[in-house]
Amino acid sequence: MNDLLKTIAPLLGTALGGPLGGAAAAFIADKLGLESKDVKAVGEALSGNKLQPDQITQIKLAEIEFEKFCKQNAIDVAKLDFDNTKDARDMQKTTRSYFPAILSTGIVVGFFGILASMLVFEYKPTEPLLIMLGALGAAFGAVVNFWLGSSNGSQRKDQMLLDK
């Protein structure tokens, strides 16, 4: 769901998974005419990748309005997302906890384990399995971002070096 939204409306897709998730969900829910304006309701409305053309148009309009809202309130969604990952890395530097490494290993092994089993064994995947695979795929991206950094963060560092 989040990947689809990031394709249609990148700013809303990024915000929905971060600290501005509630605000992003409210903008989307308002345009789609949803009664509940929370992240869960928006996720359910966008699940299944069966959006109609008029719904895609409404989401793009919500993106424009959300961008105006962020500019009016001096909110940089990309910076909030970057700072969130940076804070997690800083915590890891300070605490030297084994838990992030163990959790990351479990996510990577689970993700590739399910993919390998789907390739080796011929069976029709069930909906719960595909949901789990999707969740592990998203978590895998977060693991890679945490341990190796993101291209967005790299671009920001490059720009900062150029500015100096």
Q: pLDDT tens for residues 52-80?
A: 788 888 888 888 887 887 777 766 655 55
Where exactly are the structural domains of the chain? 2-72, 77-163
Q: Please report, as a single letter, which amino acid is at residue 86.
A: K
Sign of the alpha-carbon torsion through 85, 72, 43, 123: negative
Q: Global pTM?
A: 0.45
3-state secondary structure of 64: helix
Quickly state the pLDDT bin for 109 (edges 50, 70, 90). Answer: very high
